[in-house]
Amino acid sequence: MKERVILHSDINCCYASIELLHHPELRGKPVAVGGDPEARHGIVLTADYIAKKKGVKTGMALWQARQVCPDIVFVPPRMDLYLRFSRMAHEIYAEYTDRQEPYGIDESWLDVTDSVSIKGDGYRIAQEISNRMKSELGITVSIGVSFNKIFAKLGSDYKKPDAITTMYKDEFRTKAWPLPASDLLYVGRSTENKLRKIGINTIGELALCDERILNDQVGKMGSILWAFANGYDDSPVKVENTSAPIKSIGNSTTTPRDLETDDDVKVVMYVLAESVAARLRENGFRCRTVEISLRDKDLYSFIRQKKVKNATNITSEIAEAGYELYKQYYRLPENCNVRDAAISGKYLENFYMKPLRSIGIRGADLVNDNYWEQLDLFTSPEFREKRMKADVAVDSIRKRFGFFSVQRGMMLGDTILSAVNAQEHTIHPHGYFG
């Protein structure tokens, strides 16, 4: 059986690199993408290498980044632009293989086994891809070359930026095993602490540990991590276009005032759903799951989700699914009564809910627009088509004249709530097992 040749390509400081292409005046300065610096809130999504050397890290609050790097320049995120570069990168990858599996916007596994006889070995293919990314897109990538996905990713993380690292069967023990166990996929902070308690600090020590001891310490993930460390991962690289390059698109907001009625919630839910649905349409995605997050004025929060009947990027379908979840799992004080509590089987004090301060909604379990599914007898494809066309028309008007140039009638009932910022989005990458 022919040995597989797997690459993992990772765009270096993806968001920051793309922004620097469009802001050449910022080159040589510490740059970070994320949040809203004028409103003084948000987190760092990514930073360039100058900022990273000064201590700026992904996930850091903007004010924290400013403390460690006073001269940092913040740039607001433009997810549409980053997704466009991601698509162009995949067009380059497609010239080497149809087995390309995205792992977020900036990373992708490539199975180039069948291209080796034509294009050369894995290292040569990686060199060619790296050169093309620089010359055609103006960005650099780090690429790992290996016989499986886990070590290919470890190779792309091994040396940055703009590097190629091999992790073949005859060398992964010398290259991978001395690395910290936390470098291995799915060894987070909690798992790292558990491993450290039993004396495991490196990938090699993890590989040589008794599998039963690992399972006792970290649960069922113990066997998976043990297999990863020993190079036993044989998971295939998926064929292109069978999954979206991202896991979900969402939006949330802290409202200008507490939400005290169902109508308040519905207005904000629709504002957020409009922006999420527009982003799904613009990038050719539909969602099969809708998720909401609610937080009350005392900062208690919870998340609920549901499958939708048909994959959708229609604003009203996403908003209605979110609102149904809210009605199913939450009661504002004005709607709570003894009868509701009795029906729910809960005590009244547990059933009582407080005014909401924050709402979020996201479309998850994404598929591409070419996804086909069977509709049931009670779904009208003509009606859904009309809704889609209406949404696309609204998108076009808003691109020309701004988000608030066209609004639903319900928005006029509360101009304060309907004016919440609906332009920011969160992009959630795929998990390895997803």
Tokens of 376: 């049931």
User: What are the C-alpha distances in Å from 415 to residues 256, 268, 410?
Assistant: 11, 11, 10
Instruction: Map tokens 């050397």 to a residue.
Output: 53
Structure confidence at residue 256 (pLDDT): 82
- CATH class of domain segment(s) 1-169: alpha beta
Average pLDDT, the chain: 86
Sheet arrangement for strand 285-296: 301-312, 285-296, 356-368, 248-259, 426-428
Give the homologous superfamily in CATH for domain 177-242: 5' to 3' exonuclease, C-terminal subdomain (1.10.150.20)
Measured CA to CA, the distance from residue 131 to residue 129 in angstroms comes to 5
SS3 label, residue 6: strand
CB atoms within 10 A of CB 328: 9
Residues labelled catalytic: 107
Tokens of 234: 């044989």
Q: Calculate ∠ Cα 261-267-272, nearest 5°.
A: 130
Domain range summary for the chain, segments of one domain joined by +: 1-169, 177-242, 248-428
Measured CA to CA, the distance from residue 143 to residue 122 in angstroms comes to 10
Amino acid found at 400: R
- Report percent pLDDT > 90 for the chain: 52
Local confidence pLDDT in tens for the 434 residues of the chain: 678 999 999 999 999 999 999 999 999 999 999 876 565 556 788 999 999 999 999 888 888 899 999 999 999 888 888 888 998 999 999 999 999 988 888 999 999 999 999 999 999 999 999 999 999 999 999 999 999 999 999 999 999 899 999 999 999 999 999 999 999 988 988 899 999 999 999 999 999 999 999 999 988 889 999 999 999 999 999 876 555 566 788 888 888 888 888 899 999 999 999 989 998 888 788 999 999 999 888 778 888 999 998 899 999 999 999 999 998 888 876 665 544 544 444 433 444 478 888 899 999 888 877 677 777 777 788 888 899 899 989 988 887 887 778 888 888 888 888 776 565 555 555 556 55
| 323 neighbors 269 (Cβ within 8 angstroms) | yes
Measured CA to CA, the distance from residue 251 to residue 421 in angstroms comes to 10
Answer whether the bond into residue 161 is a cis peptide, omega within 30°. Answer: yes
Q: What dotted CATH number matches 248-428?
A: 3.30.1490.100
